[in-house]
Amino acid sequence: MTKQEFVDAVAHKTGMTKRDAGTAVDAFLDVVEGALKAGETVTFTGFGKFHTTRRKEREGVNPRNPSQKVHIPAANVPKFSAGSQLKKAVN
Give per-residue pLDDT as tens, 18-39.
999 999 999 999 999 999 999 9
pLDDT, tens only, 42-69: 999 999 999 999 999 999 999 999 999 9
Q: How far apart are CA 20 and CA 73, in angstroms?
A: 40
Instruction: Evaluate if pTM is beyond 0.85.
Output: no
Mean pLDDT of 64-89: 95
Q: Do 66 and 79 fall within a single domain?
A: yes
pLDDT band at 40 (very low <50, low <70, confident <90, very high): very high
Q: Are 21 and 14 in contact (CB under 8 A)?
A: yes
Q: Do 52 and 89 fall within a single domain?
A: yes
Q: Do 68 and 85 fall within a single domain?
A: yes
Q: Do 50 and 87 fall within a single domain?
A: yes
Domain span at residue 14 reads 1-39
Helix H or strand E encompassing 33: helix 18-37
